[in-house]
Amino acid sequence: MATANLIPRIGLGTFRLKGQEVIDSVSSALELGYRHIDTAQAYENETEVGQAIRQSGVPRDEIFLTTKVWYDRLESDDLIRSLEESLDRLGVDHVDLALIHWPSPNGEVPMGETIGALNEAREKGLTKHIGVSNFTMAHLDEALGVPGGEHLVTNQIEVHPYLANRRVVEHCQASGLQVTGYMPLAVGKVMKDPLLQEIADAHGATPAQVALAWVAGRDIVVIPSSTKPEHQHANLAALELELSDDEIARIDKLDAGERIADPEWAPRWDE
């Protein structure tokens, strides 16, 4: 399963962005050169994301568009219906990547049924690629072992300097999957970190750029959320920042297992 370079290295995350705010955010990102946009059914902004894409003037085939199926739509026929509804809201005939947003709570819907339906969506042309999000190593192994699992290309998980998520990242990569890291800026916490500020000063950069460079340097796709064009531009530039081995080692020590996304329906996480 060759997934290297399949997903653009940086994308725009749209979690928590609604209405005109998400339209403006996606519009400015596409104008700046972003070609990877990440949304989800649960974000309730697919309609606005689709509107911004259409208004951008950027050809649809140049944009890598991701959406995610919510955990209450994982039964086979319902999963297909939910993706068809997403396409209607987005105003597109397919997405580039469809993810299972969260594993079925308590395994209520069998993994084989969900992955089978997700792969059927791929075969129907509703999505070019399929993947998962917030899957533990056990969930991932189960998903890869059922029919259709061989087509999974990514696991989107929380990764930032305070949650390196090393075991899961390495397990995904060893299994041939690309890792997509969400919340790479730890919802703004990186901006106040003295160590990241010190390293940023040495590079004429910002702490946010240092954090993104650290995550991306681990061969992880980053999808920071940003509404300000200047921040979006800086995030793009972060991919060009090269950290020294010593700087990377110092940032590595910030890992404290601090998880931000941990709702009641979350699985039992790998430590």
- Residue positions annotated with a catalytic role: 43
Instruction: Report H helices in the chain.
Output: 19-32, 46-56, 76-90, 111-123, 137-144, 166-174, 194-203, 207-216, 229-237, 245-252
Residue written as token pair 């390196």: 164
User: CA–CA separation, 62 vs 34, rounded Å?
Assistant: 10
The three-class DSSP label of residue 73 is helix
Among 245, 222, 178, residue whose Cα is nearest residue 34:
222
User: CA–CA separation, 198 vs 149, rounded Å?
Assistant: 43
CB-CB contact of 208 with 230 (8 Å): no
User: CA–CA separation, 109 vs 96, rounded Å?
Assistant: 25
Q: At what angle do helices 111-123 and 76-90 cross, to 10 degrees?
A: 40
